[in-house]
């Protein structure tokens, strides 16, 4: 049996959500094939808990010693949203240790965690993108100029963050500075984007050596003004319809753009690509999530079930494909 290190937690605002996702994933592994060790990552401490005791991973070789047992992991399944699980830090460390893992490699993780860099990577693929302006901490905020260029309303986002942490929908130039400062609390760069009016859609994707899996599309209907942190993780604050009530033509466009974005960013493993579809049926990509939420209420597990598959099947596919193609 292979030893799987399930990496959870992390250092970002998404830590608790990542722990919930990991707990759900831990229940879905095929226990006839894998021994699973849930490791809570926080800063430089990688902690395994058993029987009320804590044991620490030796970061020199990624091994775990429990009493007289020494556990060496054959594979790492990354279930950390935000830093350090989606931004390339964990991936770089695992690559140095020679441990195969479930997600994009270090370079692709860096690209997809940075919203502006993601847009540049997919710009020549035919995927539609909202117009935007990047601000750094030293930049002067000129609200009237920004509004003149992008119109109203606007979305102000941390350039490197997830789960809509620090995101604000801005309806006037006067609201812009406060929204920018809020976003800077999450990231050293801020992306201001035009608002694309339409329906929000999400498409899960997994590409293995043998097959491309494009899951049934989900429409997200938030009770708030947009699919913010509260709407994502509070029961009753959003409706998620899988499969989405859209035409076959729109579904085909979404699947084509999902695959184009995934391949342009050289993604690996399970991912989710989010879109806004205009009333005219034209999709605009919002972002790529390379460690999509996997808790009980998350979108991708619902899509997997709608496709007639199980979480156990998908996790096994991800692990075995990565091990065969390392």
CATH number at residue 184: 3.30.1490.20
Q: Check: CB of residue 127 under 8 Å from CB of residue 261.
A: yes
pLDDT of residue 166: 80
Q: Say if residue 208 is in the same domain as residue 260.
A: yes
pLDDT of residue 237: 60
Which residue, among 230, 320, 221, has the nearest Cα to 276 in the 3D structure? 221
pLDDT of residue 164: 59
Q: Say if residue 145 is in the same domain as residue 164.
A: yes
d(CA 49, CA 186): 30
- Looking at 151, 175, 194, the residue that finishes a domain is 194
How many residues does the structure list for the chain? 326
Q: Check: CB of residue 106 under 8 Å from CB of residue 76.
A: no
Q: Say if residue 253 is in the same domain as residue 117.
A: yes
Domains of the chain: total: 3
pLDDT of residue 225: 62
- Looking at 150, 170, 194, the residue that finishes a domain is 194
Q: What is the pTM of this model?
A: 0.91
Q: Check: CB of residue 223 under 8 Å from CB of residue 231.
A: yes
Task: Could you list the beta-strand ranges (E) of the chain.
Answer: 2-9, 34-42, 45-50, 53-58, 63-66, 69-72, 75-78, 128-129, 132-136, 154-158, 168-170, 189-194, 199-207, 212-214, 218-222, 238-241, 269-277, 283-289
Token pair, residue 219, equals 């429409």
Q: Say if residue 22 is in the same domain as residue 56.
A: yes
Q: Say if residue 210 is in the same domain as residue 189.
A: no
pLDDT (tens, 9 = 90+) of the chain, 326 residues, equals 999 999 999 988 888 888 988 999 999 999 999 999 999 999 999 999 999 999 999 999 999 999 889 999 999 999 999 899 999 999 999 999 999 999 999 999 999 999 999 999 999 999 999 999 999 987 877 889 999 999 999 999 998 875 557 889 899 999 998 999 888 888 889 999 999 999 999 999 999 999 999 999 999 997 756 554 544 555 566 789 999 999 999 999 999 999 999 999 999 999 999 999 999 999 999 999 999 989 877 899 999 999 999 999 999 999 999 999 87
Q: Say if residue 267 is in the same domain as residue 118.
A: yes
Q: Say if residue 211 is in the same domain as residue 259.
A: yes
Token pair, residue 183, equals 């976003």
Q: Say if residue 253 is in the same domain as residue 116.
A: yes
Q: Say if residue 119 is in the same domain as residue 169.
A: no
What domain range includes position 136? Answer: 132-194
Q: What is the CATH number of the domain that holds 227?
A: 3.30.470.20
DSSP secondary structure code for residue 258 in this structure:
H
Q: Check: CB of residue 129 under 8 Å from CB of residue 146.
A: no
d(CA 22, CA 45): 17
Q: What is the CATH number of the domain that holds 74?
A: 3.40.50.20
Token pair, residue 37, equals 């060790």
Q: Say if residue 117 is in the same domain as residue 250.
A: yes
pLDDT of residue 165: 73
Q: Say if residue 223 is in the same domain as residue 120.
A: yes
Q: Say if residue 82 is in the same domain as residue 42.
A: yes
């Amino acid at each position: 049996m292979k030893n799987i290190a399930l990496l959870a937690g992390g250092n970002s605002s998404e830590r608790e959500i990542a722990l919930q996702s990991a707990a759900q994933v831990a229940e879905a592994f095929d226990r006839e094939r894998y021994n699973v060790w849930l490791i809570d990552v926080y800063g430089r401490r990688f902690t395994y808990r058993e029987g009320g005791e804590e044991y620490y991973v030796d970061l020199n070789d990624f091994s775990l010693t429990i009493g007289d047992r020494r556990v060496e992991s054959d594979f790492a399944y990354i279930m950390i949203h935000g830093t350090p699980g989606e931004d390339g830090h964990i991936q770089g460390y695992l690559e140095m240790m020679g441990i195969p893992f479930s997600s994009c490699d270090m370079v692709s993780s860096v690209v997809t965690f940075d919203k502006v860099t993601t847009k540049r990577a997919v710009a020549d693929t035919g995927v539609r993108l909202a117009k935007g302006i990047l601000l750094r901490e030293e930049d002067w905020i000129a609200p009237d100029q920004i509004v003149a260029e992008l119109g109203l309303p606007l979305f102000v986002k941390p350039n490197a963050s997830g789960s809509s942490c620090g995101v604000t929908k801005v309806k006037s130039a006067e609201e812009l500075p406060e929204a920018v400062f809020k976003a800077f609390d999450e990231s050293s760069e801020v992306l201001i984007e035009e608002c694309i009016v339409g329906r929000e859609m999400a498409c899960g994707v997994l590409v293995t050596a043998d097959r491309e899996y494009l899951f049934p599309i989900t429409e997200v209907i938030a009770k708030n003004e947009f699919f913010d942190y509260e709407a994502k993780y509070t029961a009753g604050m959003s409706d998620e319809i899988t499969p989405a009530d859209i035409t076959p033509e729109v579904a085909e466009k979404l699947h084509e753009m999902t695959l184009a974005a995934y391949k342009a960013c050289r993604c690996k493993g399970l991912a989710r690509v989010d879109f806004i579809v205009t009333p005219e049926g034209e999709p605009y990509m919002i972002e790529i999530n390379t460690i999509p939420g996997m808790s009980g209420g998350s979108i991708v597990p619902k899509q997997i079930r709608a496709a007639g598959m199980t979480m156990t099947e998908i996790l096994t596919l991800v692990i075995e494909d990565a091990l065969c193609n390392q």
